[in-house]
Amino acid sequence: MDLKQLNAFVAVADLQSFSAAAKTTGLSQPSLSRLLKQLETDMGVELIDRYHRPLQLTDAGLFFYDKVRAVLTELDTITNMTKRLSAPSQALNIGFVPSVLYGLLPEIIADFKHNNVNPDTNGNTDIEVNLKDISSYQQVEALKNGEIDVGFGRFAHQDPWIQQILLRHERYVVALPKAHPLAQIKEQRLIDLASNRLILYHQTHLSVSATTSTTKPVTEPLLYLFAQYGVTPLMTTKVSDLQVALSLVAAGEGITLVPASLRTVRTEQISYQRLIHENVTSPIYLHTLKDFVHPKIPNLLDAVYRVYEQRGITYRRQQFI
Protein backbone atom coordinates (compact mmCIF):
# COMPACT_ATOMS: atom_id res chain seq x y z
CA MET A 1 0.00 0.00 0.00
CA ASP A 2 1.44 3.38 -0.97
CA LEU A 3 0.33 7.00 -1.33
CA LYS A 4 -0.29 6.71 -5.07
CA GLN A 5 -2.76 3.90 -4.46
CA LEU A 6 -4.52 5.78 -1.66
CA ASN A 7 -4.78 9.02 -3.64
CA ALA A 8 -6.09 7.10 -6.65
CA PHE A 9 -8.71 5.39 -4.51
CA VAL A 10 -9.89 8.66 -2.94
CA ALA A 11 -10.10 10.34 -6.34
CA VAL A 12 -12.28 7.53 -7.73
CA ALA A 13 -14.46 7.53 -4.60
CA ASP A 14 -14.90 11.32 -4.77
CA LEU A 15 -15.71 11.48 -8.49
CA GLN A 16 -17.39 8.07 -8.91
CA SER A 17 -15.67 7.73 -12.27
CA PHE A 18 -12.39 6.21 -13.43
CA SER A 19 -12.10 8.62 -16.36
CA ALA A 20 -12.74 11.73 -14.25
CA ALA A 21 -10.33 10.49 -11.55
CA ALA A 22 -7.67 9.82 -14.19
CA LYS A 23 -7.88 13.45 -15.35
CA THR A 24 -7.70 14.74 -11.79
CA THR A 25 -4.70 12.62 -10.81
CA GLY A 26 -2.88 13.02 -14.13
CA LEU A 27 -2.73 9.25 -14.61
CA SER A 28 -3.89 7.21 -17.56
CA GLN A 29 -7.06 5.24 -16.93
CA PRO A 30 -5.27 1.85 -17.20
CA SER A 31 -2.63 3.02 -14.67
CA LEU A 32 -5.35 4.18 -12.30
CA SER A 33 -7.18 0.86 -12.59
CA ARG A 34 -3.95 -1.06 -11.91
CA LEU A 35 -3.25 0.98 -8.78
CA LEU A 36 -6.73 0.34 -7.39
CA LYS A 37 -6.62 -3.36 -8.25
CA GLN A 38 -3.23 -3.70 -6.55
CA LEU A 39 -4.58 -1.90 -3.46
CA GLU A 40 -7.54 -4.31 -3.25
CA THR A 41 -5.20 -7.30 -3.78
CA ASP A 42 -2.81 -6.14 -1.06
CA MET A 43 -5.70 -5.67 1.37
CA GLY A 44 -7.62 -8.74 0.28
CA VAL A 45 -10.77 -6.61 0.20
CA GLU A 46 -13.02 -5.40 -2.62
CA LEU A 47 -13.36 -1.65 -2.18
CA ILE A 48 -15.23 -0.62 -5.34
CA ASP A 49 -18.40 -2.09 -6.82
CA ARG A 50 -17.54 -1.77 -10.51
CA TYR A 51 -20.91 -3.05 -11.75
CA HIS A 52 -22.85 0.12 -10.90
CA ARG A 53 -22.88 3.43 -12.77
CA PRO A 54 -21.90 5.74 -11.32
CA LEU A 55 -19.33 3.68 -9.44
CA GLN A 56 -20.15 2.87 -5.84
CA LEU A 57 -18.05 1.80 -2.88
CA THR A 58 -18.65 -1.47 -1.09
CA ASP A 59 -19.41 -1.34 2.64
CA ALA A 60 -15.74 -2.04 3.32
CA GLY A 61 -14.80 0.65 0.78
CA LEU A 62 -17.00 3.22 2.49
CA PHE A 63 -15.35 2.51 5.83
CA PHE A 64 -11.86 2.63 4.31
CA TYR A 65 -12.64 5.84 2.40
CA ASP A 66 -13.87 7.64 5.51
CA LYS A 67 -10.74 6.75 7.47
CA VAL A 68 -8.08 7.09 4.78
CA ARG A 69 -9.40 10.44 3.55
CA ALA A 70 -8.89 11.86 7.06
CA VAL A 71 -5.36 10.43 7.12
CA LEU A 72 -4.50 11.98 3.74
CA THR A 73 -5.89 15.34 4.84
CA GLU A 74 -3.75 15.13 7.98
CA LEU A 75 -0.71 14.25 5.90
CA ASP A 76 -1.30 17.26 3.63
CA THR A 77 -1.50 19.48 6.70
CA ILE A 78 1.75 18.07 8.08
CA THR A 79 3.47 18.52 4.71
CA ASN A 80 2.34 22.14 4.41
CA MET A 81 3.46 22.94 7.94
CA THR A 82 6.85 21.32 7.42
CA LYS A 83 7.44 23.45 4.32
CA ARG A 84 6.45 26.60 6.21
CA LEU A 85 8.75 25.73 9.13
CA SER A 86 11.69 25.24 6.80
CA ALA A 87 11.08 28.54 4.98
CA PRO A 88 8.89 30.94 6.99
CA SER A 89 7.14 33.58 4.93
CA GLN A 90 8.11 37.20 5.45
CA ALA A 91 4.47 38.15 4.92
CA LEU A 92 1.91 38.00 7.71
CA ASN A 93 -1.44 36.85 6.32
CA ILE A 94 -4.31 37.83 8.63
CA GLY A 95 -7.81 36.43 8.29
CA PHE A 96 -10.77 38.33 9.70
CA VAL A 97 -14.54 38.21 9.83
CA PRO A 98 -16.30 41.35 8.51
CA SER A 99 -17.79 42.28 11.89
CA VAL A 100 -14.27 42.64 13.33
CA LEU A 101 -13.27 45.00 10.53
CA TYR A 102 -15.97 47.45 11.67
CA GLY A 103 -14.46 47.41 15.16
CA LEU A 104 -10.88 47.94 16.26
CA LEU A 105 -9.05 45.86 13.65
CA PRO A 106 -8.05 48.87 11.48
CA GLU A 107 -6.51 50.54 14.55
CA ILE A 108 -4.74 47.32 15.53
CA ILE A 109 -3.22 46.87 12.07
CA ALA A 110 -2.14 50.53 11.99
CA ASP A 111 -0.44 50.16 15.39
CA PHE A 112 1.20 46.89 14.33
CA LYS A 113 2.60 48.43 11.15
CA HIS A 114 3.78 51.54 12.98
CA ASN A 115 5.71 49.52 15.53
CA ASN A 116 6.94 46.59 13.42
CA VAL A 117 7.21 47.47 9.74
CA ASN A 118 10.39 49.49 9.45
CA PRO A 119 11.69 50.53 6.03
CA ASP A 120 15.33 49.86 5.21
CA THR A 121 17.65 52.30 3.42
CA ASN A 122 16.09 51.33 0.09
CA GLY A 123 12.56 51.96 1.32
CA ASN A 124 11.70 48.23 1.53
CA THR A 125 9.81 47.02 4.60
CA ASP A 126 10.79 43.92 6.54
CA ILE A 127 7.28 42.44 6.52
CA GLU A 128 4.24 42.49 4.27
CA VAL A 129 0.78 42.45 5.85
CA ASN A 130 -2.09 40.87 3.91
CA LEU A 131 -5.69 41.02 5.13
CA LYS A 132 -8.20 38.38 4.01
CA ASP A 133 -11.97 38.46 4.57
CA ILE A 134 -12.74 34.88 5.61
CA SER A 135 -15.49 33.47 7.81
CA SER A 136 -14.79 31.95 11.23
CA TYR A 137 -15.57 28.40 10.16
CA GLN A 138 -13.29 28.64 7.09
CA GLN A 139 -10.34 30.04 9.05
CA VAL A 140 -9.34 26.66 10.50
CA GLU A 141 -8.69 25.14 7.07
CA ALA A 142 -7.08 28.38 5.90
CA LEU A 143 -4.63 28.16 8.80
CA LYS A 144 -3.81 24.54 8.02
CA ASN A 145 -3.22 25.05 4.32
CA GLY A 146 -1.16 28.20 4.81
CA GLU A 147 -3.63 30.67 3.32
CA ILE A 148 -3.49 32.67 6.56
CA ASP A 149 -1.08 32.73 9.51
CA VAL A 150 -3.50 34.09 12.11
CA GLY A 151 -7.22 34.77 12.25
CA PHE A 152 -9.63 37.07 14.07
CA GLY A 153 -12.90 35.17 14.48
CA ARG A 154 -16.08 35.00 16.52
CA PHE A 155 -16.23 31.30 17.41
CA ALA A 156 -14.25 28.86 19.54
CA HIS A 157 -12.75 26.00 17.52
CA GLN A 158 -12.11 22.53 18.86
CA ASP A 159 -9.34 21.36 16.56
CA PRO A 160 -6.10 19.61 17.59
CA TRP A 161 -4.07 21.75 15.16
CA ILE A 162 -5.36 25.11 16.40
CA GLN A 163 -4.72 27.24 19.47
CA GLN A 164 -6.69 30.36 20.24
CA ILE A 165 -6.87 33.26 22.64
CA LEU A 166 -10.08 34.94 23.76
CA LEU A 167 -9.39 38.64 23.26
CA ARG A 168 -12.61 40.06 24.68
CA HIS A 169 -16.39 39.92 24.68
CA GLU A 170 -18.25 42.55 22.67
CA ARG A 171 -21.83 43.31 23.61
CA TYR A 172 -24.63 42.82 21.10
CA VAL A 173 -27.02 45.62 20.18
CA VAL A 174 -30.38 45.24 18.49
CA ALA A 175 -30.71 46.63 14.97
CA LEU A 176 -34.24 47.87 14.16
CA PRO A 177 -35.75 49.74 11.19
CA LYS A 178 -35.94 53.46 11.93
CA ALA A 179 -39.75 53.32 11.68
CA HIS A 180 -40.06 50.43 14.16
CA PRO A 181 -42.18 51.16 17.28
CA LEU A 182 -39.23 50.16 19.52
CA ALA A 183 -36.61 52.11 17.57
CA GLN A 184 -36.31 54.92 20.11
CA ILE A 185 -36.25 52.78 23.26
CA LYS A 186 -32.71 53.01 24.60
CA GLU A 187 -32.62 49.72 26.51
CA GLN A 188 -34.21 46.62 25.04
CA ARG A 189 -35.16 43.21 26.43
CA LEU A 190 -35.04 40.03 24.37
CA ILE A 191 -38.53 39.04 25.47
CA ASP A 192 -39.91 42.28 23.99
CA LEU A 193 -38.22 41.52 20.66
CA ALA A 194 -39.53 37.96 20.30
CA SER A 195 -42.65 38.93 18.30
CA ASN A 196 -40.49 40.39 15.50
CA ARG A 197 -38.98 38.54 12.57
CA LEU A 198 -35.40 37.78 13.59
CA ILE A 199 -32.89 37.76 10.74
CA LEU A 200 -30.18 35.12 11.21
CA TYR A 201 -26.85 35.45 9.42
CA HIS A 202 -24.24 33.22 11.10
CA GLN A 203 -22.69 30.47 8.98
CA THR A 204 -21.05 28.81 11.99
CA HIS A 205 -23.01 27.17 14.78
CA LEU A 206 -22.03 26.84 18.42
CA SER A 207 -20.53 23.66 19.83
CA VAL A 208 -22.68 24.13 22.95
CA SER A 209 -26.46 24.30 22.95
CA ALA A 210 -29.33 25.74 24.91
CA THR A 211 -32.79 24.21 25.01
CA THR A 212 -36.18 25.71 24.36
CA SER A 213 -39.46 24.77 25.99
CA THR A 214 -39.64 21.85 23.54
CA THR A 215 -36.14 20.70 24.68
CA LYS A 216 -34.87 21.02 21.12
CA PRO A 217 -31.11 21.82 21.06
CA VAL A 218 -30.30 25.35 19.89
CA THR A 219 -26.86 26.02 18.38
CA GLU A 220 -27.64 28.92 16.03
CA PRO A 221 -25.84 31.81 17.80
CA LEU A 222 -28.67 34.39 17.87
CA LEU A 223 -31.34 31.84 18.74
CA TYR A 224 -29.02 30.56 21.47
CA LEU A 225 -28.97 34.02 23.07
CA PHE A 226 -32.77 34.14 23.12
CA ALA A 227 -33.00 30.57 24.42
CA GLN A 228 -30.77 31.42 27.38
CA TYR A 229 -33.60 33.66 28.57
CA GLY A 230 -36.31 31.12 27.76
CA VAL A 231 -37.42 33.09 24.69
CA THR A 232 -38.11 31.79 21.17
CA PRO A 233 -38.63 34.31 18.34
CA LEU A 234 -41.94 33.75 16.55
CA MET A 235 -40.42 34.16 13.05
CA THR A 236 -36.93 33.86 11.61
CA THR A 237 -35.29 34.39 8.24
CA LYS A 238 -31.81 33.06 7.43
CA VAL A 239 -29.53 34.96 5.06
CA SER A 240 -25.99 34.46 3.78
CA ASP A 241 -24.13 37.10 5.76
CA LEU A 242 -24.33 40.05 8.12
CA GLN A 243 -24.45 42.71 5.41
CA VAL A 244 -27.52 41.08 3.85
CA ALA A 245 -29.13 40.92 7.29
CA LEU A 246 -28.61 44.65 7.83
CA SER A 247 -29.95 45.40 4.36
CA LEU A 248 -33.17 43.57 5.25
CA VAL A 249 -33.40 45.48 8.53
CA ALA A 250 -32.97 48.74 6.60
CA ALA A 251 -35.80 47.63 4.29
CA GLY A 252 -38.10 47.02 7.27
CA GLU A 253 -38.12 43.23 6.86
CA GLY A 254 -37.15 42.38 10.41
CA ILE A 255 -34.65 42.95 13.20
CA THR A 256 -31.32 41.38 14.12
CA LEU A 257 -28.62 41.47 16.77
CA VAL A 258 -25.10 42.61 15.85
CA PRO A 259 -21.87 43.32 17.75
CA ALA A 260 -21.82 46.90 19.03
CA SER A 261 -18.97 47.86 16.66
CA LEU A 262 -21.45 47.75 13.75
CA ARG A 263 -23.78 50.44 15.05
CA THR A 264 -22.30 52.99 12.62
CA VAL A 265 -23.53 51.02 9.57
CA ARG A 266 -26.55 52.42 7.65
CA THR A 267 -27.56 54.69 10.52
CA GLU A 268 -29.86 56.68 8.25
CA GLN A 269 -32.12 53.62 8.01
CA ILE A 270 -31.30 51.58 11.11
CA SER A 271 -31.64 52.35 14.81
CA TYR A 272 -29.20 50.51 17.10
CA GLN A 273 -30.24 50.16 20.71
CA ARG A 274 -28.58 48.68 23.76
CA LEU A 275 -29.69 45.37 25.28
CA ILE A 276 -30.06 45.32 29.05
CA HIS A 277 -28.67 41.78 29.26
CA GLU A 278 -24.96 42.11 30.10
CA ASN A 279 -24.08 38.55 29.07
CA VAL A 280 -25.53 38.84 25.56
CA THR A 281 -22.12 39.19 23.97
CA SER A 282 -20.11 38.10 20.95
CA PRO A 283 -16.57 36.87 21.68
CA ILE A 284 -13.55 37.82 19.60
CA TYR A 285 -10.85 35.17 19.27
CA LEU A 286 -7.37 35.24 17.82
CA HIS A 287 -6.26 31.84 16.58
CA THR A 288 -3.24 30.29 14.93
CA LEU A 289 -1.55 26.90 14.56
CA LYS A 290 -0.28 25.04 17.63
CA ASP A 291 2.95 23.87 16.02
CA PHE A 292 3.86 26.95 14.02
CA VAL A 293 3.44 30.49 15.32
CA HIS A 294 4.53 33.12 12.80
CA PRO A 295 7.35 35.16 14.43
CA LYS A 296 5.36 38.40 14.07
CA ILE A 297 2.18 37.13 15.79
CA PRO A 298 3.40 38.11 19.31
CA ASN A 299 3.89 41.64 17.95
CA LEU A 300 0.36 41.60 16.54
CA LEU A 301 -0.98 40.54 19.94
CA ASP A 302 0.96 43.37 21.58
CA ALA A 303 -0.72 45.78 19.14
CA VAL A 304 -4.14 44.41 20.15
CA TYR A 305 -3.45 45.06 23.82
CA ARG A 306 -2.05 48.56 23.18
CA VAL A 307 -5.25 49.53 21.36
CA TYR A 308 -7.37 48.02 24.15
CA GLU A 309 -5.46 50.08 26.71
CA GLN A 310 -5.93 53.25 24.66
CA ARG A 311 -9.68 52.54 24.44
CA GLY A 312 -10.02 51.60 28.12
CA ILE A 313 -11.12 48.04 27.29
CA THR A 314 -10.66 45.44 30.02
CA TYR A 315 -8.63 42.41 28.94
CA ARG A 316 -6.45 39.62 30.32
CA ARG A 317 -3.03 39.50 28.68
CA GLN A 318 -2.21 36.13 27.13
CA GLN A 319 0.39 34.71 24.80
CA PHE A 320 0.41 31.86 22.31
CA ILE A 321 2.52 28.89 23.35
Q: Mean pLDDT lowest for which of 17-21, 22-26, 51-55?
A: 51-55
Task: Name the CATH architecture for the domain at 3-86.
Answer: Orthogonal Bundle (1.10)
Q: What is the mean pLDDT of residues 77-99?
A: 82
As a whole number of angstroms, the longest Cα–Cα distance in the chain is: 74
Tell me what pLDDT residue 124 has: 52
Dist CA 273 CA 262 (whole Å): 11
Spatial separation of the C-alpha atoms in residues 201 and 177, rounded to whole Å? 17
One-letter amino acid of 242 = L
pLDDT band at 210 (very low <50, low <70, confident <90, very high): low
How large is the average pLDDT for residues 251-276? 96
The pLDDT tens digits of the residues spanning 290-299 come to: 988 998 999 9
* Residue 197 pLDDT class (50, 70, 90 cuts): very high
Separation between Cα atoms, residue 314 and residue 60, nearest integer Å = 55
Please give the helix or strand (H or E) that residue 299 lies within, else none. Answer: helix 297-311
What tens digit of pLDDT does each residue of 121-135 get? 554 556 789 999 998
* Percent of the chain's residues with pLDDT above 70: 94
Residue 220: predicted pLDDT: 93
Which of the four pLDDT bands, split at 50, 70 and 90, describes residue 175? very high
181: left (phi over 0), alpha (psi -120 to 50) or beta: alpha
Residues of the chain with CATH 3.40.190.10: 91-168+291-311, 169-282
Tell me the average pLDDT of the chain.
Answer: 89
80 band by pLDDT with thresholds 50, 70 and 90: confident
Spatial contact of 60 and 13, defined as CB atoms under 8 Å apart:
no
Section 51-63 average pLDDT:
86
3-state secondary structure of 288: strand
pLDDT band at 280 (very low <50, low <70, confident <90, very high): very high
Pick the CATH number of 91-168+291-311 from 3.90.650.10, 3.40.50.620, 3.40.190.10, 3.40.630.10: 3.40.190.10
* 169-282 CATH fold: D-Maltodextrin-Binding Protein; domain 2 (3.40.190)
Task: Please give the pLDDT value at position 170.
Answer: 95
Nearest to 15 by CA among 48, 43, 40, 44: 48
Locate the DSSP E strands across 3-159: 48-49, 56-57, 91-96, 128-133, 150-153
Q: 282, 249, 293: which is closest to 85 by C-alpha?
A: 293
What single-letter DSSP state applies at residue 243? H
Interior/surface letters 269-294, b for 16+ CB within 10 angstroms, e for the rest: bbbbbebebeebbbebbbbbbbebbb
**pLDDT(271) > 90:** yes
As a whole number, mean pLDDT of residues 195-218 equals 79
Residue 308 neighbours by CB under 8 Å, 6+ apart? 104, 167, 168, 314, 315
Across-strand partners of 235? 197
With a CB cutoff of 8 Å and minimum separation 6, the contacts of 129 are 91, 92, 94, 109, 112, 113, 117
H or E, element range at 169 = strand 162-177
- CA 225 to CA 198: how far, in whole Å? 12
Task: Flag whether pLDDT at 209 surpasses 80.
Answer: no
pLDDT(211) > 80: no
DSSP 62-80: HHHHHHHHHHHHHHHHHHH
